[in-house]
Amino acid sequence: MEENKVSITRNCGGDGMIPITDLMQVTHPGYQVYTLGAERSNPNLHLPVFLDYCTCVCERFRHYASQHTERLVTENSLMKVIDIVKDLDETDDPEVVFPLRTALVGASLEFVEHCKDMGNCFKTPYAMKNFYHNLGHMVQSLTKKFAGVDEI
């Protein structure tokens, strides 16, 4: 059963074992969207459940970080992304949409960096680093498609 757990690195303050399936929230419906990947996902259909999934993944990371480390995780870029997506969904006024798109670019880049930091907390397996890396880039890609932003 040890192969189903990951180690958290000392630079993140821990040396404990954490269940992979709980970290990855594999029972959440958004995990299916994650496994589809950004290329095959439809942001208009999948974005709400995927963003909820990302919220759950981040909450589980925070949970284990607080259990196994003294590290306090208060990063909120995902909440910024979610708020901007909600605002974009409620308007088509160009005076509102264009600044929101710019804000979305910044917030999604912050979330990519946060995911990179989360992934760097694991020494094994390498797939966990990849998981968080892919999660951040998938949020960036799906929100870009949703907002109609060509370059993000």
**66-84 tens-digit pLDDT:** 887 666 566 799 999 999 9
Give me the helix-helix angle, 77-89 and 126-147, nearest 10°: 20
pLDDT of residue 97 exceeding 70, the answer is: yes
The predicted model gives 107-134 an average pLDDT of 91
Coil, strand or helix: which one is 123?
Answer: strand
What six digits make up the tokens of 65?
């970080």
Tell me what pLDDT residue 2 has. 42
| pTM for this model (two decimals) | 0.86
Q: Does 105 have pLDDT greater than 60?
A: yes
Give the pLDDT confidence score for residue 10 in this predicted structure.
44
- Decide if pLDDT at 18 tops 90: no
CA pair distance 34, 135, nearest whole angstrom: 7
Question: Strand runs (DSSP E) across the chain, as ranges?
Answer: 5-8, 17-19, 122-124
Would you say residue 147 has pLDDT above 90? yes
Mean pLDDT for the stretch of residues 27-49 = 95
| H or E segment and range at residue 67 | helix 43-68
CA dihedral sign of residues 113, 115, 120, 125: negative
Query: Which residues face 7 on adjacent strands?
Result: 17, 124
Average pLDDT of every residue of the chain: 87
Predicted local distance difference test score (pLDDT) of residue 1? 38
